A and B are shown apart, each in its own frame.
Chain A
Amino acid sequence: EAGVAQSPRYKIIEKRQSVAFWCNPISGHATLYWYQQILGQGPKLLIQFQNNGVVDDSQLPKDRFSAERLKGVDSTLKIQPAKLEDSAVYLCASSPQHPLDGYTFGSGTRLTVV
Chain B
Amino acid sequence: SQQGEEDPQALSIQEGENATMNCSYKTSINNLQWYRQNSGRGLVHLILIRSNEREKHSGRLRVTLDTSKKSSSLLITASRAADTASYFCANQAGTALIFGKGTTLSVSS
Contact = CB atoms under 8 A, between A and B. Distances in A.
B67 interface: no
Interface of B is mostly: strand
Contacts of A40: 102
Given A42-B102, A105-B44, A50 B95 contact: yes
A91 B41 CA distance: 10
Interface size range on B against A = 20 to 34
B96 A45 contact: yes
A10 to B, nearest CB: 10
Contact of B96 (A4, A56, A102, A107): A56
Contacts of A31: 95
B95 A104 contact: no
A42 B101 contact: yes
Interface size range on A against B = 20 to 34
A1 to B, nearest CB: 14
Contact of A106 (B4, B42, B100, B102): B42
A72 interface: no
Contacts of A105: 35, 42-44
A61 interface: no
A42 B100 contact: yes
A91 B97 contact: no
A53 to B, nearest CB: 12
A16 interface: no
A63 B58 CA distance: 44
Contacts of A107: 41-42
B99 A43 contact: yes
B42 A99 contact: no
A25 interface: no
Contacts of B3: 42, 44
A108 B37 CA distance: 11
A38 to B, nearest CB: 10
Interface of B: 3-4, 6, 31, 33, 35, 40-45, 48, 50, 88, 92, 94-102
